[in-house]
């Protein structure tokens, strides 16, 4: 079987067939674009946004979060890293270091209440603030900058279960 026939067979599932795929999609040009209404009397503009992220979900048992190692969990397509703060409460941050986009879950909790990125040692507290760089110390220029703040998720622990 030639390469051309194999290529045609792979694209046979394209809506409209191979010829329309080669010509390019030409539909929906006359459809009006969607616009958000500016009229304050329009009731649709006052409806609060609904979605799966607007609710509390049980994430994991609080005893599964270790003191020296962050725990990773994917919730609603988002990777979340869990660790304990100084008071022993479970905190949750987006599993993404704002410095070089490394996974925080691959790091360690070298200090009680903080999670440290494995790449340059950016250390974050339970609120997502960068408090130190292990490579530069607490006097680093990066400490305290708004760009270096990790995204925090609210957490509540009820009867041993962490909700996010």
**Domain limits, the chain:** 3-37, 57-163
Q: Do residues 150 and 86 touch, judged by C-beta distance below 8 A?
A: no
Q: For 65-115, give the DSSP string.
A: S-SSS-EEEEETTEEEEEEE-TTS-EEEEES--TTT---GGGSB--STT-E
Question: What is the structure's pLDDT at 156?
Answer: 95
Question: What is the structure's pLDDT at 36?
Answer: 56
Fold held by 57-163: Rieske Iron-sulfur Protein (2.102.10)
What is the mean pLDDT, run by run of 10 residues, along the chain of 164 residues?
A: 50 49 48 56 64 85 93 93 94 93 93 92 93 84 88 94 95
Question: What is the structure's pLDDT at 53?
Answer: 76
Model confidence, pTM: 0.68
- The Cβ of residue 45 has, within 10 Å, a number of other Cβ atoms equal to 11
Question: What is the structure's pLDDT at 28?
Answer: 44
Question: What is the structure's pLDDT at 31?
Answer: 47
């Amino acid at each position: 079987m030639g390469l051309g026939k194999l290529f045609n067979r792979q694209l046979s599932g394209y809506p409209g067939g191979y010829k329309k795929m080669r010509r390019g999609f030409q539909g929906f040009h006359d459809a009006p674009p969607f616009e958000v209404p500016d009229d304050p009397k329009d009731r649709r503009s006052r409806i609060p946004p609904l979605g799966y992220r607007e609710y509390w979900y049980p994430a994991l048992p609080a005893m599964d979060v270790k003191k020296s190692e962050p725990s990773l969990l994917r919730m609603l397509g988002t990777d979340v890293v869990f660790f304990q703060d100084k008071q022993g409460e479970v905190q949750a941050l987006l599993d993404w270091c704002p410095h070089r986009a490394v996974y925080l879950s691959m790091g360690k909790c070298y200090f009680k209440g903080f999670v440290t990125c494995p790449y340059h040692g950016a250390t974050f507290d339970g609120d997502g603030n960068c408090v130190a760089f292990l490579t530069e110390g607490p006097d680093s220029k990066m400490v305290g900058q708004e760009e270096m703040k990790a995204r925090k998720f609210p957490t509540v622990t009820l009867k041993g279960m962490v909700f996010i």
